[in-house]
Chain A
Amino acid sequence: MKKTNSQCGRRGERIFSNVCVLPSLAGVLIFFLIPFCIVIYYSVINNPISGQFVGLENFKRLFQAAAFRRAALNTSTFSLISVPLVLVISLWLATLLERNIPYKSVIRTFFLSPIMVPTASVVLVWQVLFHNHGTINQVLDLFGIEGIDWMKSSHGQLIIIVMFLWKNIGYNMILFMSALAAVPRDILEVAELEGAGRIYQFFHIKLRYLSPTILFVLILSLINSFKIFREVYLLTGDHPYDKMYMLQHFMNNTFNSLDYQKLSAAAVLFSAVMIVIIAALLIAEEIFGKDVES
């Protein structure tokens, strides 16, 4: 189909469609791709003035920095916990809301509502909830459990996991709901006639059709998990407790000290890690979801 379309197009029209892409391409080249090449270059030289090639020296320096190691550890811990969590919870909620329950659309709206709320607007409520003398500790106190100073303890990550789930579940749930609605009804009907229960249907039929969406939600949540700096910054400012010191904090500090080499090495390393993770996910999905894709 595409082929005939491009064949019957006149030359001028083909050129016009190419020209349409140019302004965006120019912008992307200027603001992202070309400077990123410079970033790669910066990551392997000693300084921009002498421009001497130093190999992996900057990367070594990066790993020697305790702040970087802490930031990378905290960020990856946070992502490893929160991404699977948000995936499972939003998929579960989507399957619950697939049923014909009363007030379904109101419930969906409520779950979706955090998307529209800027984090900065509600940050005070979260601070009150997790304050040392705050709501959660008072509730714990009622049950005779001693409270924790959430913001300043190793449980600090729990706050940002809760905030992350709050912000992201609605979006992912909508994605799963629309994917669930697209599972072919005839297959489910046959399965039901054959006596397959809901759980069997979910794991053996729906889950397979959902695999592209699961992949997408995984990638999206992973990207969003790297934005958690926003919540931490708004909660605790520039200098959070150790457990909440994120990669973006490290980047900001390195920006301030104008250490371009370290900064570039971190960006290059991070982009390589992202590409590896996403390629692995794509390959996994290819193997897992092969037989259902038409």
Chain B
Amino acid sequence: MSRHTKKRIFNIIIMVFTGVAAILFLMPTVLTIANSFMTSNEITANYGAMIGNMTDDKKTFISENVNLKFIPDKVTFAQYASVLFKSPDYLIKFWNSVILTVPITVFQVLLAILTAYGFSRYPNKFKGIIFFAYIILMIMPYQVTLVPNFLVADFIKDNVGAMFADDPEKMPKFITNMRWAVILPGIFSPFSIFLLTKVMKRIPVSYVEAAKLDGASELQILAKIHMPLCKGAIVSIAMLVFIDYWNMVEQPLVLMKDTELHPLSVFLSQINAGDIGLAFAVGTVYMVPTILMFLYGEDYLVEGITYSGGIKG
């Protein structure tokens, strides 16, 4: 056997191996989507054993085992109809996710454009120290950062509360709902700044100097040179931020007492026995924004991940 054919056969073996592993990686997602098209009877029959508090007469229909099924007996959109039209609860929670995640993503990225520009132009010692502090902050887990976040939220709430002490009813809703306690720290989280600064530092100085010779102001340099050159990076960073916050659990759990306002990423765990038939459909609906993002922007996403590599770079 020649070296070449040997190499090809070896490559095919590796393809089969990694291919099988890759399909396994896709399975949880595919299974969730596939199960969302089942009738609720089928789901109860398959997963009934998972639900503890079923009445006894119903239990006889349910097999003792929990069967993970791939292909529904009968494809139906009934679950979706219930989720979208009959149980407004899920749509409200979905909306809760949107009003937390979208402002965080938009403002974190906008702030990052400005800040990264400031960091990458005319570096000095102070900016170096601040940037280092941002890196330290970035590596801190929620178990550390949530405590200061909680203290500030508490402080603000108490002080605003004191302003409305004589008539608590008058307190504006956007203060009492505590959404800002999740949104504001999210906006100032330094992740995007860190990535975008690294990208902006790579812009050749000669571009900026040429623009300055033509009489461009700093603001014009930001708008006409940095932003267009970093467009890809900005999109990919925005995607990473969105995906991260769409999946958030810790922050709302600690910072927002009112469970009615929790995003779907938290609420899905509390889905009760009666609604198990809907859980797969709700889960699938919740994936739609990030799946669309992934399908249209996988290359951006890969680019963004690549930027994030290397702390020193």
List the interface of chain A (C-beta within 8 A of B).
1-2, 5-6, 8-9, 13-14, 16-25, 27-28, 30-36, 38-39, 93, 96-97, 99-104, 106-107, 109-129, 131, 133-135, 138, 166, 169-171, 174-175, 178-179, 212-213, 215-216, 219-220, 223, 226-227, 229-230, 233-235, 237, 247-248, 251-252, 255, 260, 263-264, 266-267, 270-271, 274-275, 278
User: Which B residues from 104 to 145 make CB contacts under 8 A with A?
Assistant: 111-112, 114-115, 117-119, 121-124, 126-127, 130, 133-134, 136-137, 139-145
Q: How far is the CA of A138 from the CA of B56 in the complex (A)?
A: 24
Given contacts A21-B127, A23-B115, A107-B18, contact A251 B146 (CB under 8 A): yes
Residue of B nearest to A31 (CB): B185
Q: Of the candidates B12, B119, B184, B313, which one forms a contact with A27 in the assembled complex, judged by CB atoms under 8 Å apart?
A: B184
List the interface of chain B (C-beta within 8 A of A).
11-12, 14-15, 17-19, 21-23, 25-29, 31-32, 35, 47, 49-50, 64-68, 111-112, 114-115, 117-119, 121-124, 126-127, 130, 133-134, 136-137, 139-152, 155, 184-185, 187-188, 190, 193, 205, 209, 218-219, 243, 246-247, 249-250, 253-254, 264-270, 276, 279-280, 283-284, 286-287, 290-291, 293-294, 298, 301-302, 305-306, 308-313
> A21-B127, A223-B141 are known contacts; what are 7 more A-B pairs with Cβ within 8 Å?
A27-B187, A101-B18, A124-B279, A125-B28, A133-B64, A135-B68, A263-B147
Of B23, B140, B190, B291, most buried by chain A (CB within 10 Å of CB) is B140
Q: How far is the CA of A110 from the CA of B305 in the complex (A)?
A: 16
Could you write out 17 A-B pairs with CB less than 8 Å apart?
A6-B123, A14-B122, A21-B115, A21-B118, A24-B193, A39-B147, A96-B14, A104-B15, A107-B19, A123-B268, A128-B68, A133-B49, A135-B68, A174-B302, A227-B141, A233-B253, A234-B269
CB distance B298 to A267 under 8 Å? no
Return chain B residues, CB-CB under 8 Å to A237: 269-270
CB distance B66 to A135 under 8 Å? yes
Return chain B residues, CB-CB under 8 Å to A275: 136
CB distance A16 to B14 under 8 Å? no
Return chain B residues, CB-CB under 8 Å to A111: 21-22, 25
CB distance A270 to B144 under 8 Å? yes
Return chain A residues, CB-CB under 8 Å to B136: 275
CB distance B12 to A101 under 8 Å? yes
Return chain A residues, CB-CB under 8 Å to B123: 2, 6
CB distance A166 to B25 under 8 Å? yes
Return chain A residues, CB-CB under 8 Å to B243: 115-116
- Tell me the smallest distance from the CB of A49 to a CB of chain B, in Å: 14
- Tell me the smallest distance from the CB of B249 to a CB of chain A, in Å: 4
Return chain B residues, CB-CB under 8 Å to A263: 147
Return chain B residues, CB-CB under 8 Å to A102: 11-12, 15
- Tell me the smallest distance from the CB of A169 to a CB of chain B, in Å: 8
Q: How far is the CA of A113 from the CA of B310 in the complex (A)?
A: 23
Q: Of the candidates A9, A124, A212, which one forms a contact with B32 in the assembled complex, judged by CB atoms under 8 Å apart?
A: A124
Residue of A nearest to B284 (CB): A121
- Tell me the smallest distance from the CB of A290 to a CB of chain B, in Å: 13
Return chain B residues, CB-CB under 8 Å to A170: 25
Q: Of the candidates A18, A169, A213, which one forms a contact with B310 in the assembled complex, judged by CB atoms under 8 Å apart?
A: A213
CB distance A115 to B50 under 8 Å? no
Q: Of the candidates B14, B124, B290, which one forms a contact with A117 in the assembled complex, judged by CB atoms under 8 Å apart?
A: B290
Q: Of the candidates B32, B269, B283, B312, which one forms a contact with A233 in the assembled complex, judged by CB atoms under 8 Å apart?
A: B269
- Tell me the smallest distance from the CB of A32 to a CB of chain B, in Å: 6
Return chain B residues, CB-CB under 8 Å to A27: 111, 184, 187-188
CB distance A127 to B28 under 8 Å? no
CB distance A35 to B151 under 8 Å? yes
Q: How far is the CA of A278 from the CA of B122 in the complex (A)?
A: 29
CB distance A134 to B66 under 8 Å? yes
Given contacts A31-B184, A102-B12, A274-B144, contact A117 B29 (CB under 8 A): yes
Return chain A residues, CB-CB under 8 Å to B11: 99-102
CB distance B18 to A219 under 8 Å? no
Return chain A residues, CB-CB under 8 Å to B130: 21, 25
Given contacts A96-B14, A219-B139, contact A128 B47 (CB under 8 A): yes
Q: How far is the CA of A216 from the CA of B29 in the complex (A)?
A: 28
CB distance A33 to B29 under 8 Å? no
Q: Of the candidates A6, A24, A30, which one forms a contact with B122 in the assembled complex, judged by CB atoms under 8 Å apart?
A: A6
CB distance A233 to B139 under 8 Å? no
Q: Of the candidates A9, A20, A131, which one forms a contact with B114 in the assembled complex, judged by CB atoms under 8 Å apart?
A: A20
CB distance A101 to B14 under 8 Å? yes
Q: How far is the CA of A107 from the CA of B76 in the complex (A)?
A: 30
CB distance B143 to A17 under 8 Å? no
**What are the 5 closest A-B residue pairs judged by CB atoms, nearest first?**
A20-B118, A27-B188, A35-B148, A110-B22, A121-B283
Q: Of the candidates B19, B124, B286, which one forms a contact with A120 in the assembled complex, judged by CB atoms under 8 Å apart?
A: B286
Q: Of the candidates B35, B65, B126, B137, which one forms a contact with A32 in the assembled complex, judged by CB atoms under 8 Å apart?
A: B137
Return chain A residues, CB-CB under 8 Å to B306: 174-175, 178
Q: How far is the CA of A111 from the CA of B284 in the complex (A)?
A: 19
Residue of B nearest to A110 (CB): B22
Q: Of the candidates A1, A23, A248, which one forms a contact with B142 in the assembled complex, judged by CB atoms under 8 Å apart?
A: A248
Return chain B residues, CB-CB under 8 Å to A134: 65-66, 68
Return chain A residues, CB-CB under 8 Å to B112: 24
